[in-house]
Amino acid sequence: MANDPKSKRALVTHHFLWIVLRLVSQILLIAFTCFPRAYAVDESSESLPTYKVESIEIVGSTRLTSDYIYEQLRISDATVMSDEWLSEARTTLLGLGVYKYVFFALRKGSKPGFAKLLITAKDDESVVSDWAAGGEFGLSLVKPSPDLNENSAFRGYRLGLVARNILNRGHRAALLAEIAADGNLALGSLAYGLPRFVNESIQFDAVLSVVDPTEKYFDTDGFGMKAQTIWTRQRRGFDINYGLVWYSNRHERYSIPSAPQLVSGPKIGIIRETRLLSFMPNNGYRASVSLTPSLVNRAQATFEAELARTFIGQDIGALTFSGKSLQVGRASSSLRGEVKYELPIVTSSHGLRSLLYISRRAGLDRTALSKFTGYETVAGYRYHSTGFIGDINFKIISKNPFLEKWQTTAKSQFQEHDLKPTGDTP
């Protein structure tokens, strides 16, 4: 039997086919493991039964109301709970950023073709309470440049609050304040966002911010005060944003000297962001451009651009390069650049997570009358625990053109009035 040529041929053919099948299987295995997102996943259950929703029960979390979940999942009497529907529904709920885990299960309905839907949700513990709120406390110790006297060394305090489920209906808000050693507000930001419009894939945000350039020069970009009301619409991987902006340098404290006083008008822009800006850095990039044709003075049309790229190495931390520019008309421009290295030092499935970071920032402001440059290096430690972030950092070197300018001005004013500044030895 074994010596029969036909049997031998059949055996060889069988082995050959087996090897080919095995090879193809392995190639596909590797391909789909390495590039899982490049291929569509067929999870259809073909002839397996599907049911329409009879009722919904939500257990495990009180962060979102049943009505709001109905609205988000767009459930109607005709909704068939297929595997495809399940995938969309889970993406939608987890994407709200309030849950860590959602589990969908069907229970026997009261009539054929219908089933009761049970959703078990577990809260995302990185934020607290039903409003999914988080806090941030920060302390900055600043060592100014050597040509400034020691009394100009100061501390800054930072307080941040963020919530992404206000009123249990997905309203979003963020508040950030930095208080300088003299008790004044060095940086303030208040942002509010309406719940996302699911069907239209649009969201609305309003942001108001003030920055004192003598304290936080690198956080200004051309203006000391900014207000924006922006709609963001998603289109094929890009976010198109449009709305109204108001940029001002009119306030005595929150202004860039000799820069344009006011730009306001409609703004339109495009953003492409692939990074989730979460506690731990994420690989990806951001690119954005926008245009604001000023209603006050057409020669002050404002163009903004931003580029950022984050690289993450296995166990060696993350490196981010970023730069942004704001050009007002032809005469005035503002450039900022930063290189930042972040090193996660504790990562566990529970409890404290933290990272060390060091960044080098540079700034250049050019106005019709003058030109300013500045740079600073910041090293810090940042940790996260149950809804709160703590941040302590030390600015090793600081060259703030406005701080120096302010000191020079103050000194000259003192001299004009024949006064002696405190701590200034003759």
Partner 1 sequence: MKKSMAPRLAVMALISISPFLNASTDQLSVTRATWENTGKGNTIILDVRELLTVEQREIVKSGFSTFTLLAVAENRLKNDEAPPAMRLVCRVKYDTWEEKYHTTRIEPPPIQDYTGTKLDVWSKSCLVYKISEPEIINRLKSGGTLYATLQVRQSSQDESGKIKNWLVKQQSGFMQGLYSHMLGDLQLGGKVEILVDVPSLTTSEKTIKNQK
Residues 289-348 that bind partner 1 (CB under 8 A): none
Rounded to the nearest whole angstrom, what is the least distance from the CB of residue 338 to partner 1 in the complex?
A: 15
Cβ proximity to partner 1, 114 vs 394, nearer residue: 114
Name residues whose C-beta falls within 8 Å of residue 266's C-beta, 6 or more positions apart in sequence.
242, 243, 244, 245, 292, 293, 295
Using CB under 8 A as the binding rule, whether residue 51 contacts partner 1 is answered as: yes
Exactly one of 68, 75, 79, 106 binds partner 1 (CB under 8 A); that residue is 106
Using CB under 8 A as the binding rule, whether residue 42 contacts partner 1 is answered as: yes
Using CB under 8 A as the binding rule, whether residue 148 contacts partner 1 is answered as: no
Q: Cβ-count burial of 377 within 10 angstroms (0-12 exposed, 13-18 middle, 19+ buried)?
A: middle
Using CB under 8 A as the binding rule, whether residue 239 contacts partner 1 is answered as: yes
- Stretch touching partner 1 by CB under 8 A, among 2-10, 34-42, 63-71, 366-374: 34-42
Rounded to the nearest whole angstrom, what is the least distance from the CB of residue 173 to partner 1 in the complex?
A: 8
Exactly one of 4, 57, 83, 200 binds partner 1 (CB under 8 A); that residue is 83
Using CB under 8 A as the binding rule, whether residue 16 contacts partner 1 is answered as: no
Binding mask 376-415 for partner 1 (x = CB under 8 A): --------x--x-x--------------------------
Exactly one of 63, 138, 152, 164 binds partner 1 (CB under 8 A); that residue is 164
Using CB under 8 A as the binding rule, whether residue 205 contacts partner 1 is answered as: yes
Rounded to the nearest whole angstrom, what is the least distance from the CB of residue 280 to partner 1 in the complex?
A: 6
Using CB under 8 A as the binding rule, whether residue 55 contacts partner 1 is answered as: no
**What is the dihedral angle through the alpha carbons of 230, 232, 233, 236, rounded to the nearest 10 degrees?**
140
Using CB under 8 A as the binding rule, whether residue 14 contacts partner 1 is answered as: no
Residue with tokens 């002696």: 420
Cβ proximity to partner 1, 126 vs 152, nearer residue: 126
- Check residue 31 and report its DSSP letter: H
> Any bridge partners for residue 172, and if so which?
193
Using CB under 8 A as the binding rule, whether residue 29 contacts partner 1 is answered as: yes
Q: Cβ-count burial of 34 within 10 angstroms (0-12 exposed, 13-18 middle, 19+ buried)?
A: exposed
- Check residue 196 and report its DSSP letter: P
Exactly one of 230, 259, 263, 328 binds partner 1 (CB under 8 A); that residue is 230
Cβ proximity to partner 1, 19 vs 276, nearer residue: 276
According to the 3-state scheme, what is the secondary structure of 268-321?
EEEEEECCCCCCCCCCEEEEEEEEECCCCCHHHCEEEEEEEEEEEECCCEEEEE
- Stretch touching partner 1 by CB under 8 A, among 56-64, 275-283, 291-299, 332-340: 275-283
In the region spanning residues 175 to 194, those forming contacts with partner 1, defined by CB under 8 A, are 176, 189, 191, 193
CA nearest neighbour of 204 among 194, 191, 214: 194
**What is the dihedral angle through the alpha carbons of 411, 416, 421, 426, rounded to the nearest 10 degrees?**
90
Token pair for 11? 């055996």
Q: Say how far apart CA 239 and CA 296 lie, in whole Å.
A: 27
- Check residue 254 and report its DSSP letter: S
Question: Within a 10 A sphere around the Cβ of 1, how many other Cβ atoms?
Answer: 4
Rounded to the nearest whole angstrom, what is the least distance from the CB of residue 105 to partner 1 in the complex?
A: 4
Rounded to the nearest whole angstrom, what is the least distance from the CB of residue 45 to partner 1 in the complex?
A: 5
Token pair for 92? 């939608």
Residue with tokens 């492409």: 272
Rounded to the nearest whole angstrom, what is the least distance from the CB of residue 344 to partner 1 in the complex?
A: 11
Q: Say how far apart CA 185 and CA 192 lie, in whole Å.
A: 20
Using CB under 8 A as the binding rule, whether residue 7 contacts partner 1 is answered as: no
Q: Say how far apart CA 34 and CA 24 lie, in whole Å.
A: 15
Exactly one of 171, 253, 275, 411 binds partner 1 (CB under 8 A); that residue is 275
Exactly one of 56, 70, 90, 139 binds partner 1 (CB under 8 A); that residue is 90
In the region spanning residues 114 to 133, those forming contacts with partner 1, defined by CB under 8 A, are 115, 122, 124, 126-127
Using CB under 8 A as the binding rule, whether residue 74 contacts partner 1 is answered as: no
Cβ proximity to partner 1, 154 vs 285, nearer residue: 285
Cβ proximity to partner 1, 314 vs 422, nearer residue: 314
Name residues whose C-beta falls within 8 Å of residue 168's C-beta, 6 or more positions apart in sequence.
62, 63, 64, 65, 68, 130, 131
- Stretch touching partner 1 by CB under 8 A, among 57-65, 109-117, 210-218, 370-378: 109-117
Exactly one of 162, 186, 318, 403 binds partner 1 (CB under 8 A); that residue is 162
> Any bridge partners for residue 142, and if so which?
154, 395
